[in-house]
Amino acid sequence: MQADLERILFDEATILRRLDEIAAQISNDYRDRELTVIAVLNGSLVFMSDLMRRIPLPLRLDCLSVASYHGRAETTGEVIFKQVALPDVVDRHVLILDDILDSGHTLAAIREKLETAKPRSIRVCVLLQKKKERARPVDADYVGFEIEDEFVVGYGLDFMERYRNLPCIGVLRKELITQSN
């Protein structure tokens, strides 16, 4: 799998060091409150699992499943919620966790949808944020790493459902993306 990478951006140790910092920041910001983490499946699974074990606060976990990519390396803008019921977040302090902020379509749609469920507050935490203009304005309150506008895989992030189990994050070789289109 590593041979399919053009280059590695962040190895496992670097990612975990950064998670220590973000977790400390989140733990401090929410120190007197109960946190409800909403993880966006499947991309945030690995990130969520490593991050939440670094937050020593009472917290609840819920997951949301959305589809926005349909197996290609570009976003279509359409966000489909795969479950009928939203998690119960009335009066809760919600922290949405996602793998990457790219066009902004996914997080904008999720945030909008969760706001209808009347939480007390909503913040957004992403592992990666691409440096680019977004199709929809979304601000992430916690960001692991800023990256260039390149297609990356690993540590939960996929290309056509593969590479999620790579322990590092790297740029996928371009010819692998074009071949499968």
Q: Which two tokens stand for residue 31?
A: 């120190």
| Piece of the chain touching Mg ion by CB under 5 A; list 13-21, 63-71, 110-118, 139-147 | 63-71
Q: Which of 105, 114, 124, 125 binds ligand IMP (CB under 6 A)?
A: 105
Which of 50, 98, 102, 158 is an active site residue?
A: 102
Please pick, from the candidates 39, 46, 48, 101, the single residue that binds ligand IMP as defined by CB under 6 A. 101
37, 104, 127, 140: which one contacts ligand IMP (CB under 6 A)?
104
Does 129 participate in binding ligand IMP (rule CB under 6 A)? no
Nearest-angstrom CA–CA distance, 106 and 110? 6
Given a contact cutoff of 8 angstroms between Cβ atoms, the answer to whether 154 and 168 are in contact is yes
Residue 97 lies near ligand IMP (rule: CB under 6 A): no
Tokens coding 108? 């904008």
Amino acid type, 57: L
Closest CA to 144 of 108, 101, 114, 106: 101
Query: Scanning residues 115 to 174, which ones bind Mg ion (CB under 5 A)?
Result: 158
The residues facing 10 across adjacent strands are: 169
Cα–Cα distance, 127 to 155 (Å, whole number): 10
For ligand IMP, the binding residue among 46, 97, 99, 144 (CB under 6 A) is: 99
Q: In 30-164, where does DSSP find H-type helix?
A: 45-52, 105-115
**Integer Cα distance of 124 and 137 in angstroms:** 13
Q: How far is the CB of 57 from ligand IMP (least distance, A)?
A: 25
* Catalytic residue flag (residue 149): no
Q: How do beta strands 142-147 and 152-153 pair?
A: unpaired
Give me the 51-70 binding string for ligand IMP, x by CB under 6 A, dash otherwise: -----------------xx-
157 is a contact residue toward ligand IMP (CB under 6 A): yes
CB of 155 to Mg ion, least distance (A): 12
**Which residue ranges make up the site for Mg ion (CB under 5 A)?**
43, 69, 158
What residues act catalytically? 102
